[in-house]
Amino acid sequence: MIVTRFAPSPTGYLHIGGLRTALYSYLYARANNGKFLLRIEDTDLKRNSQEAAEAIVEAFKWCGLDFDGEIVYQSNRFDVYKKYIQKLLDEGKAYKCYMTKEELEALRNEQIANKQRPKYDGRYRDFKGTPPAGIDPVIRIKAPLSGEIKFDDGVKGEIKFNAEDILDDFVIARSDGSPTYNFTVVIDDALMGINQVIRGDDHLSNTPKQIVLYKALGFEIPKFYHVAMINGTDGHKLSKRHGATDVMEYKKMGYLSEALLNFLVRLGWSYGDEEIFTMEDLKKKFSPNNLSKSASTFNQSKLEWLNQHYIKEAKFEYLVEKLKDFDLDLSKNSHAKLLIDSLRERSKTLIEMSNSAKNILNRPKEYDEKAYRKFINEDSLELLNKFSVILDKDMSAAEYEEATIKFLEDNNSKLKNLAQPLRVAITGTSVSPSIFEVIEILGSDEVKTRINNIINKE
């Protein structure tokens, strides 16, 4: 059975790149009837926060990414890590190192001066003497001193590391007894049955250390997939300067989670020429074998295009519910469906849709200065005044259109002379959906009131 995981550190929000990793891991498991597990790596008690851990879970809920079993918190597992540290000590595969920070710094400076790679020199690797007094030791693993560490990466192919060049006897437990990142990852992945690890290629340098630990502990090594990073449009690693990196910021900006997931899955994965994928599509089609070796570029315009597509396709009831997050409750509006349908084609985000809807539903308190100067004059106000007379009952948009055409014929005028002044009177701007749909949404009495308001303004 395929078992994958997502294992973020709760030091802040869920990064957009982290969500992509989680999505790939989720889809790989779901596409193969496997398990997808969530682990919070919160052993760094100084940097981690409960609020950040909750933010990660909140982002998962918003995106609809369900996980199997309970969330595993590493902070609850220190006894497990101590057990395996002791096991390595007992088997002679790890040892206590009493080297002080000052000694380490002096060694490092000497190596740099000699143009050597800074590394621990193994002075306590086979130490049998009396431990120095007053020093709390760290625990180091006995890493291989020569040879190759290699593995078959699912994205990059065969990867080889020269042990002598990249490894020293690295620390697996600090002097206070707390375990290090690479150690806890290996223990938890092994005990949780994780056999497929999808992660960013910024973790590639950790892999040889983790393989050393897997072998020392007698655990089966999982299959690794190191995914190329997401870059901004300038070619540098995605960061705040390129836009929002917090997943939940996209909710606040009016993006649908379906659009964001569809966008992210294509940043490094492809399936022919297809661009639009529902979650059900992805659960059938996703394979990590189609992950790209090259970095992808975060394109905000592409995300907006996808979001607009999902807004167009979304069910009316779904949009009504989502718009409540943007201070717009249409649940009791009898013309809500017409309003939403009239705005779908022109709304890239839910914020745009909400603002456009409010612009229609709320009487204008002021008018766009440029539109007012261009379309409001003595003649247009006279035409509006005459037009308001025919607004004697509520009708459909088609019936309003028919009545308007007859009105214009009777007054020897054209639609262009009426439509824009009418828009300005009704919405305060020269931009809106079909003017006849807007009239139906508001009703005759409300439109007459707004026409009177702009006339009285003069």
Q: What is the DSSP string of 129-146?
A: SPPPTT-PPEEEE---SS
Backbone dihedral angles phi then psi of residue 111, each to the nearest 5 degrees: -65, -40
- For this structure, is 223 an active site residue? no
Burial of 197 (0-12, 13-18, 19+ CB in 10 A): buried
- Residue by residue, DSSP assigns 39-106 as EE----TTT--HHHHHHHHHHHHHHT---SSPPEEGGG-HHHHHHHHHHHHHTTSEEEE---HHHHHH
Q: Find tokens 């809920």 and name the residue.
A: 61
Gap between the Cα atoms of 17 and 33, Å rounded: 25
**Pair of tokens at residue 374:** 């261009």
Give 223's strand partners.
196
**CA pair distance 411, 256, nearest whole angstrom:** 47
209 is in an annotated binding site: no
Strand partners, 15: 246
- Quickly list H helices, 138-240: 163-166, 181-191, 207-217
Which pair of structure tokens corresponds to residue 381? 């106000």
Q: Count, in order, helices (H) and strands (E) of the chain.
A: 20, 12
Residue in 150, 240, 312, 324 annotated catalytic: 240
CB 451 within 8 A of CB 390: no
Query: Residue 138 has which token pair?
Result: 């760290």
Burial class, 164, CB count within 10 angstroms (exposed 0-12 / middle 13-18 / buried 19+): middle
CA distance 446 to 177: 72
* Element containing residue 225 per DSSP (H, E): strand 223-227
Kindly list the catalytic residues.
Answer: 240
Q: Which residues define the annotated binding site?
A: 240
Q: Which residues define the annotated binding site for ATP?
A: 240
